[in-house]
Structure 1
Amino acid sequence: MNTHASPKAPLSPADGHLDERSRRARVEPMSVLALGDGLYEVESGSGATYLIDVEAGRCTCPDHVFRNVRCKHLRRVAIEITEGRTPPPGQLALECHDCETAVFVDERTPEPVYCDDHAISPGDTVRDRETGSRLTVVDASDLRADHVQIREADCTVAEYGTNETYDPDVPVVGAIYPHASVRRHGPVPESLKVYVFPRTRLERVPTDS
């Protein structure tokens, strides 16, 4: 999700010295939605919705349009970005595929995305959602499941029978059976066959599991 809604931004000890617009930017209920391209949508507590261009310093509200001032909506977006609750220009907040935690990523990043707790790298232990088996990751690729060919099956990873319920445009991951100790970014033993899966078919196993 890209929406951040909060009843008010936290007050600081210096807030007693804020001007009226800055005070209202902090204390009034507003929800902020990052749209991409440096644009944000702000819904006020009254239900009115305005479009904000942060980099140009513009807002569609009457206070900015008719008085040419830095309104509370521009200030609220700046507060949300500074305090890490809303992504900055050039980024979007997307939900982690495995836990729905908001992850700030480049706005050109394709889904699915994963938070730090669910991202996988070579050497990590993962579980196959179809069989429950554990594997060790040896490669996390950017190649799509519908572009990678399985030679033995004469089809793509996406077309392979047990992968048909997973999105075809997700990256592929190479992993080995049985679970083995593979040094992170190290060589793969030649005796171990690497199987290729759609990324969304695998879930990371916590190290203490």
Structure 2
Amino acid sequence: MTLGLSSDQLLSTTRAVRHRLDLTRPVARELLEECVDLAVQAPTGRNRQRWHFVVVTDPDRRAALADAWRAGVADPGASPALRASDVRRMNVAPGVMDRVFSGAAHLHRHLHEVPALVVPCVEGRTDGAPVVHQAGTWGSILPAVWSFMLAARARGLGTVWTTGNVANERAAARVLGIPYGEVMQAALIPVAHTLGTDFRPARRVPRAEVLHWDAW
């Protein structure tokens, strides 16, 4: 059962959901499997289908993974310094960052309660690799993850891209039994039914700031 959104509605209302994740309602395995089925239809460089999705619903395992994620979020070296242009764009609408920080704090407290935690992975590591190699690897897993998130939104599920596990990847790998030397985690995606389904397009910077014709 889907929400019946048009493609444009789906693309413009798939939000980063934190406060509005329903922590009390389980997510059926069948829904998650449908989202993965659609995710692996995403385009991939050179048809190298190296995707993996680790879906964690066991409460004890979720709690251990959430602890590893929190340790990664707490690492001050995990986030790059913000440029002035970053700060300006982040604050494009009044109060938007207050809501983001409030949502992040809420997720930090309740991550272990989210019914499903999905860790998308890709075979091969890019540590120290040249940009061309990184682009090929990330350009394969990222479209698949976005397809997963769109499929989830269409089914009344909320998601948000987070990376605390990547900042503490070895610990997260131990929790999940992921072979760290061979498989790279891309993110941790909390998945839950949403509290209401009335999400709207977000306020963004003007098109003129991001669109370039023929040259920069």
- Please indicate the TM-score interval, normalised by the length of the shorter structure: under 0.3
Greater share of strand: 1
Greater share of helix: 2
Q: Which has the higher contact order (CA 8 A, sep 6+)?
A: 2
Greater CA radius of gyration, 1 or 2? 1
TM-score (norm 2): 0.21
